[in-house]
Amino acid sequence: MARDSGRWALCDSSRYDNTGALSDCAFTDEARSAKLARHGFVLVPEHCLSMSKASSNAESIVELSNQAHAPALAPAHKPPVSPEALAHRELRRGPFWQRINAYADVTEAEFLDHQWQAKNSITNVPKLLAVLKGLVSSDFVHDAENGFQHTPMPVRVSPYLLSLIDWSNPYEDPLRIQFIPLLSRRLPDHPKVDLDPLHERQDMPVPGLSHRYPDKVLFLSIPTCPVYCRFCTRSYAVGLDTEEVHKLTFSVDIERWRAAIAYVASRPEVEDVLISGGDASQLRAEQVTFLGEAFLAIPHVRRIRFATKGLAVMPQKFLTDNAWTDAVTAIVEKGRKSHVDVMIHTHFNHPNEITSITQAAANKLHERGIFVRNQTVIMRGVNDSPATMGLLIKRLSYINVHPYYAYVHDMVKGVEDLRTTVATGQHIEKQIRGLVGGFNMPAVVVDTPGGGKREVHSYEHYDQVTGISVYLSPVVHPGEYFCYFDPIHLLPPEGQVRWAKPEEHDKMIEEAIAVARSKA
Ligand code: SF4
């Protein structure tokens, strides 16, 4: 209740009988109430006195004519907001792509056209060189050339992404780090990394459909993406073969799709279908409609998610590919009428990926009632600080994209330079909680090989010398222990020495699991 009008009485609290009537009327400014209470007083609206036994203590009551005469209370002091606290609202705008010579004459209409973006995406070194001519040193070019030859992922980068990279400092740029491999930055893989780090293939009852969690399936609908990310967890199946990896391809094949749909229909426990890839933005509009309607027709399916990185790497898709966006919108609307949640899941990793073009695309989805969630991977040199991650989640929240997960980097092959430690994930989580509303705070998780997602603080044991953290996964595999391994080059010297000896590897894991068991 506000204390801004009427007559008030200052009562001796020691003689005041705090009846229900009084507590109903006592004002709710707790700080001020506490201050008065420390001096033995309580402030009571005059009309309450007759409802309370306090009226019999008339000699202890001080009459106040009105609020103006009430005891002075210090107002809560809130300093003016600093400009840095609002930095998340400063989105890159204007023809920023024209800074790159190759795009100097590209008009806004062309740059906003998703087809122009797709057609002009960089897929090999000669194309990259042509675009970067004069922008980077020949050392950098050689480094990238060699990097492309030693990667599990093929190369594809959109002009939009290339335009967001700071080419005056390409070695440190957080977007370059994610999409353009450099041989000079490559580190040896941890002995426990795997081409399929989440062991998705072990949980596939039909090709391309992974059923690990009881109520959820992951459907790999298409093997291509608008860009290819160095850190991809699914490098065993996404994109074309590289010199290092022969891919297991889940291509667009109607019979394979029908088998996946039939499997979901046959499993009444499945309520959640994630249509991924590759990337769902690569599906044609009629394919979106086919899959959406097929899964909507299964009565026990309650949630459908289209997974696309498109919003982060080619937002033009949502602005100019009306057929695709309309197809998703129609499935969302149909889902709403049948009480099924249909939404988009996307993947931003750095605040620089969010521009005024992204905001326009996110606004379009928002206007259509399409809910968008984001997953982030914590990567060294990209977003492994509370400041960057904090700015990212504030900027995402600002454009109505809901931060959902922040993953400690999976045990992916060929990107040891990108991985961070479990301790880094914990530190970031502690530092950023409270920056945004709880519903926009990402859960920081470790996706343990075989065991699924575990909250970053929930290990049974974590040895920071060997870098081994041990988790239980009661829902997925009750009673089993699953390990995650910090990058060796970030361990203290004694840990690095042990990992240098292959005969120590199993010993370290057994030791860590034994300690975890002893705590159970
Ligand atoms: S968009 Fe997703 S699936 Fe495609 S390469 Fe990137 S992380 Fe992998």
User: How far, in Å, is the centroid of ligand 1 from the Cα of 182?
Assistant: 19
Rounded CA separation 11/28 (Å): 17
Is the distance from CB of 353 to CB of 377 less than 8 angstroms? no
Mutate to test the pocket of ligand 1, among 158, 220, 283, 309 (most ligand atoms within 8 A of CB): 309
Average pLDDT over residues 481-492: 98
> Which has the higher per-residue pLDDT, 133 or 407?
407
User: How far, in Å, is the centroid of ligand 1 from the Cα of 233?
Assistant: 8
pLDDT band at 15 (very low <50, low <70, confident <90, very high): very low
Q: Where are the alpha helices (DSSP H) in 227-381?
A: 254-266, 285-296, 310-313, 316-320, 322-337, 356-367
User: How far, in Å, is the centroid of ligand 1 from the Cα of 408?
Assistant: 16
pLDDT tens profile 50-102: 444 444 443 344 444 444 456 677 888 889 999 999 999 999 999 999 999 99
Rounded CA separation 208/507 (Å): 35
Mutate to test the pocket of ligand 1, among 151, 210, 235, 279 (most ligand atoms within 8 A of CB): 279
Residue 153 has pLDDT above 90, yes or no: no
**Tell me, what's the pLDDT at 235?**
82
pLDDT band at 149 (very low <50, low <70, confident <90, very high): confident
Average pLDDT over all residues of the chain: 88
- Closest atom of ligand 1 relative to the 277 alpha carbon: 3
- Closest atom of ligand 1 relative to the 228 alpha carbon: 5
Proportion of the chain above pLDDT 90, given as a percent = 73
pLDDT tens profile 411-444: 999 999 999 999 999 999 999 999 999 999 999 9
Type and span of the H or E element at 145: helix 138-148
**Tell me, what's the pLDDT at 25?**
38
Type and span of the H or E element at 24: helix 20-25
pLDDT tens profile 318-341: 999 999 999 999 999 999 999 999
Which residue carries 């060699």 as its tokens? 146
User: How far, in Å, is the centroid of ligand 1 from the Cα of 239?
Assistant: 9
Rounded CA separation 55/99 (Å): 78
- Closest atom of ligand 1 relative to the 234 alpha carbon: 8
Say what the alpha-carbon torsion angle 108, 109, 113, 119 is, to the nearest 10 degrees: -80
User: How far, in Å, is the centroid of ligand 1 from the Cα of 298?
Assistant: 28
**Tell me, what's the pLDDT at 194?**
85
**Tell me, what's the pLDDT at 277?**
85
pTM as predicted: 0.85
> Which has the higher per-residue pLDDT, 311 or 62?
311
Closest CA to 393 of 343, 433, 446, 453: 433
Average pLDDT over residues 298-304: 98
Closest CA to 228 of 471, 414, 428: 414
C-alpha distance across the termini of the chain, in Å: 50
User: How far, in Å, is the centroid of ligand 1 from the Cα of 508?
Assistant: 33
User: How far, in Å, is the centroid of ligand 1 from the Cα of 449?
Assistant: 18
Average pLDDT over residues 300-304: 98
pLDDT band at 115 (very low <50, low <70, confident <90, very high): very high
- Closest atom of ligand 1 relative to the 225 alpha carbon: 4
Residue 471 has pLDDT above 50, yes or no: yes
Beta bridge partners of 275: 219, 306
pLDDT band at 47 (very low <50, low <70, confident <90, very high): low
Proportion of the chain above pLDDT 70, given as a percent = 86
**Tell me, what's the pLDDT at 237?**
77
pLDDT band at 34 (very low <50, low <70, confident <90, very high): low
Closest CA to 162 of 379, 352, 395: 352
Other Cβ atoms less than 10 A from the Cβ of 127: the count is: 15
User: Residue 38 has which token pair?
Assistant: 């420390």
* Preceding amide of 278 cis, omega within 30: yes
pLDDT tens profile 389-411: 999 999 999 999 999 999 999 99
User: How far, in Å, is the centroid of ligand 1 from the Cα of 415?
Assistant: 14
User: How far, in Å, is the centroid of ligand 1 from the Cα of 160?
Assistant: 16
pLDDT tens profile 242-287: 878 887 778 899 999 999 999 999 999 999 999 998 999 999 999 9
Average pLDDT over residues 153-161: 93
Full 3-state SS string of 264-297: HHHCCCCCEEEEECCCHHHCCHHHHHHHHHHHHC
User: Residue 257 has which token pair?
Assistant: 């799709």
Say what the alpha-carbon torsion angle 109, 110, 116, 121 is, to the nearest 10 degrees: -120
Is the distance from CB of 166 to CB of 220 less than 8 angstroms? no
CA–CA distances in Å: residue 261 to residues 254, 284, 297, 336: 10, 18, 10, 20
Question: What domains are there in the chain, each with its CATH number?
Answer: 8-69 (no CATH), 98-185 (no CATH), 200-458 (3.20.20.70), 460-520 (no CATH)
Q: Go through 416-436 and write b for each residue having 16 or more CB atoms within 10 A of its CB, e for each that does not.
A: bbbbbbbbbbbbbbeebeebb
Instruction: At 242, give phi and psi (nearest 5°).
Output: -120, 180
User: How far, in Å, is the centroid of ligand 1 from the Cα of 49?
Assistant: 69
- Closest atom of ligand 1 relative to the 224 alpha carbon: 4
- Closest atom of ligand 1 relative to the 307 alpha carbon: 2
> In one letter, which amino acid is 276?
S
Of all protein residues, whose CA lies closest to atom 3 belonging to ligand 1? 278
User: Residue 208 has which token pair?
Assistant: 């391309």
**Tell me, what's the pLDDT at 38?**
56
Parallel, antiparallel, or unpaired for β 41-45 and 8-12?
Answer: antiparallel
pLDDT tens profile 166-224: 999 999 999 999 999 999 999 999 999 988 888 888 889 999 999 999 999 999 999 99
Type and span of the H or E element at 216: strand 216-220
Residues near 260 by beta carbon (within 8 Å), at least 6 away in sequence = 206, 208, 209, 217, 219
User: How far, in Å, is the centroid of ligand 1 from the Cα of 206?
Assistant: 21
User: Residue 356 has which token pair?
Assistant: 């005024």
**Tell me, what's the pLDDT at 44?**
54
Rounded CA separation 397/278 (Å): 25
- Closest atom of ligand 1 relative to the 309 alpha carbon: 1
**Tell me, what's the pLDDT at 148?**
87
Closest CA to 403 of 428, 448, 446, 437: 437
Mutate to test the pocket of ligand 1, among 232, 317, 353 (most ligand atoms within 8 A of CB): 232
Closest CA to 476 of 497, 452, 493, 496: 452
> In one letter, which amino acid is 27?
F
Angle between helices 422-432 and 386-398 (to 10 degrees): 50
**Tell me, what's the pLDDT at 45?**
56
Is the distance from CB of 227 to CB of 176 less than 8 angstroms? no
Ligand 1 pocket at CB < 6 A: 225, 228-229, 232, 234, 238, 277-279, 309
Helix (H, G, I), strand (E, B) or coil at 441: coil
Residue 161 has pLDDT above 60, yes or no: yes
Q: Go through 210-246 and write b for each residue having 16 or more CB atoms within 10 A of its CB, e for each that does not.
A: bbbbeebbbbbbbbbbbbbbbbbbbbbbbbeebeebe
Which of the residue ranges 22-36, 63-77, 101-115 would you say has the lowest mean pLDDT? 22-36
Type and span of the H or E element at 176: helix 174-179
Average pLDDT over residues 347-352: 98
Average pLDDT over residues 143-161: 91
